[in-house]
Amino acid sequence: MFTSEVDRQRLESLIEINTLINSQYKDVRLLLTQILECTIKLISCEASSLLLLNPENNKLYFEIALGSKGPEMQKFSLNLGEGIAGWVAAHNRSLIVNDVHKDERFFADISKKIGFQTNSIMAVPMRIKESCVGVIELINKTGQESFNNDDLRWLEIFATQAALAIQNAQNFQKVQKELHILQGQVSAEKGFHVFVGKSPSILERLNITEKIAATNSTVLITGESGVGKELFAEQIHLKSRRLDKPFIRINCAALPEFLLESELFGHIKGAFTDADNDRRGRFELADGGSIFLDEIGDMSHKLQVKLLRVLEQKIIEKVGSSEQIQVDVRIIAATNKDLEQEIEEGRFRQDLYYRLNVFPLHIPPLRERKEDIPPLSDYFLEKFSHEVKKNIQVFSPEAMEMLMAYAWPGNVRELQNVIERAVVISMHPHIYPEDLILKAAGSEKQEAYTGQSLKDAVNLFKKHFLKDALIHHKWKQGETARDLGIQRTYLSRLIREFNISK
């Protein structure tokens, strides 16, 4: 049935690839890599590349490059018509060149730059609906042989498969993108964010969120700045039976006490100089829904007392009035402060803390849930490239490695900012490491020393050093002191002296 053993192997690979194409279309890069690996094996050669044509600028980009110089190849692009691959794309025709040095279409630049000796090339177009979307090229047939028409026939079959994989993936991405944009629009219209995350710790917390949502209990969300506390508050509201009622946000740190009081509870006409009319407060506006009290750790003592009453009796009083108004509001509070420490230092009421802390929800920092970095990055990439009307689809593997390795002190907010900037500055359909502007580890500290006197710099160093040690030991002073070889009492004196806090 087969003309040779080689043909049999090729056919088997083809069936294998076909199965892959039908079973997984999300990770098209992986699929294309597998297709390319197969071709390299079956038509034995030294290197192979898959180039995709960007219709916006008519350039061919090395999407995948296998062989000893593969990673370096990925930095290059070709104009339509440039080099063998460029010729194939421009003419939408296959080509075998068994001695590139005798063919003036050969573009020697790339081989020279990466130090790779190219002798022979076979290149075929990948087509979707007859038009060329990219090129697969094989380089240097091994075993002192030349590429022949039989090889070409098989490569064309593989290229058809690869094009199919690309088309599937494009369709999938298109639907996915439309879905995201639609979801985004619906939530954005109502002022909600699209929630992204797949790490076990986030999924576990989303699960808890659903249980919390079914109750009317108060929730206290804690976590570093930028971890997504507000998005969790939104999720609690959206999963509750209150979802069609208002979700009212208020930042307790943003307003001075008297304004915050009237914002929260409302006021009656004449309650203070500028009170020309009666005004309803946020608690009343949130009736039937939820109120999100952000930065609760910054609330003044007076308001803490008033809030405690709301929590205990579900009753509010407008500023300037003693009328008691009944409200039905689910309270969700958030802070990035350590409230227990705030209590210890007399800035936060313990009774209020217990009332708020019925359901504590701690959101871990991004560096402790790195699995969320790829989906968040993809989401922000899609969102911002849509906004600035650029068609940037993926991160290069090196760029993703960088994002994964970074510690993200500013958490998801910082990741979002870094990607927004990358999308704006990127000149390619990919994001490369040079597009990512990350703070060098410790650079903030480094800057802090410049221009200081020696004494101040030494003290600053001591402060950073002690803080890092405390963080390392999860703020256990005994352990930290032992590790640093000092007395515990001395350590607590230093903590006070340098004003070190969580």
Ligand X SMILES: Nc1ncnc2c1ncn2[C@@H]1O[C@H](COP(=O)(O)OP(=O)(O)OP(=O)(O)O)[C@@H](O)[C@H]1O
- By a kind-dependent CB cut-off of 5 to 8 A, residue 336 interacts, out of Mg ion, ligand X, none, with ligand X
- Least spacing, CB of residue 413 vs ligand X, in Å: 4
Residue pair 225/338 in contact (Cβ under 8 Å)? The answer is no
Does 382 engage in binding with Mg ion (CB under 5 A)? no
In one letter, which amino acid is 405? A
Residue 151 vs 230, nearer CB to Mg ion: 230
- By a kind-dependent CB cut-off of 5 to 8 A, residue 281 interacts, out of Mg ion, ligand X, none, with none
- By a kind-dependent CB cut-off of 5 to 8 A, residue 289 interacts, out of Mg ion, ligand X, none, with none
- Least spacing, CB of residue 368 vs ligand X, in Å: 14
- Least spacing, CB of residue 482 vs ligand X, in Å: 33
- Least spacing, CB of residue 229 vs Mg ion, in Å: 5
- By a kind-dependent CB cut-off of 5 to 8 A, residue 225 interacts, out of ligand X, Mg ion, none, with ligand X
Q: Is the dihedral of CA 137, 138, 139, 141 positive or negative?
A: negative
Residue 147 vs 380, nearer CB to Mg ion: 380
Tell which residue, 394, 375, 400, 392, has the closest CA to residue 426. 392
- Least spacing, CB of residue 230 vs Mg ion, in Å: 4
Structure tokens at 27: 């990770």
Q: 3-class SS at 290?
A: strand
How many CB atoms are located within 10 Å of the residue 229 CB? 26
Residue 170 vs 417, nearer CB to ligand X: 417
CA distance 113 to 138: 19
Residue pair 65/49 in contact (Cβ under 8 Å)? The answer is yes
Does 298 engage in binding with Mg ion (CB under 5 A)? no
Residue 123 vs 356, nearer CB to ligand X: 356
For Mg ion, the binding residues in 227-286 under the rule CB under 5 A are: 230
Residue 122 vs 331, nearer CB to ligand X: 331
φ, ψ for residue 265, nearest 5 deg: -105, -10
> What is each CA distance from 20 to 28, 33, 129, 138, 321, in whole angstroms?
10, 12, 21, 22, 71
- Least spacing, CB of residue 285 vs ligand X, in Å: 21
| Residue 136 β-bridge partners | 50, 124
Residue 120 vs 416, nearer CB to ligand X: 416
**For the purposes of burial, counting CB atoms within 10 Å of the CB of 267, is it exposed (0-12), middle (13-18) or buried (19 or more)?**
buried
Residue spans of beta strands (DSSP E) within 9-44? none
- Least spacing, CB of residue 189 vs ligand X, in Å: 16
Binding mask 197-236 for Mg ion (x = CB under 5 A): ---------------------------------x------
CA distance 359 to 212: 7
User: CA angle at residue 123 from 152 to 136, to 5 degrees?
Assistant: 105
Q: In 195-247, which ranges are continuous DSSP H helix?
A: 200-213, 229-239
Tell which residue, 42, 39, 41, 59, has the closest CA to residue 51. 59
Q: DSSP code of 491? A: H
- By a kind-dependent CB cut-off of 5 to 8 A, residue 306 interacts, out of ligand X, Mg ion, none, with none
- By a kind-dependent CB cut-off of 5 to 8 A, residue 231 interacts, out of Mg ion, ligand X, none, with ligand X
User: CA angle at residue 184 from 282 to 364, to 5 degrees?
Assistant: 70
Does 342 engage in binding with Mg ion (CB under 5 A)? no
Q: DSSP code of 49? A: E
Residue 279 vs 413, nearer CB to ligand X: 413
Residue 84 vs 333, nearer CB to Mg ion: 333
Residue 233 vs 310, nearer CB to Mg ion: 233
How many CB atoms are located within 10 Å of the residue 457 CB? 14
**Interface size with Mg ion, residues (CB under 5 A):** 1
Residue 253 vs 388, nearer CB to Mg ion: 253
- Least spacing, CB of residue 227 vs ligand X, in Å: 4
- By a kind-dependent CB cut-off of 5 to 8 A, residue 197 interacts, out of Mg ion, ligand X, none, with ligand X
- By a kind-dependent CB cut-off of 5 to 8 A, residue 413 interacts, out of ligand X, Mg ion, none, with ligand X
Structure tokens at 56: 């916006």
- Least spacing, CB of residue 471 vs ligand X, in Å: 18
CA distance 435 to 438: 10
- By a kind-dependent CB cut-off of 5 to 8 A, residue 227 interacts, out of ligand X, Mg ion, none, with ligand X
Q: 3-class SS at 455?
A: helix
Write out the residues near ligand X by the rule CB under 6 A: 193, 195-197, 223, 225-231, 336, 376, 412-413, 416
In one letter, which amino acid is 250? I
- Least spacing, CB of residue 410 vs ligand X, in Å: 8
Contact positions vs Mg ion (CB under 5 A)? 230
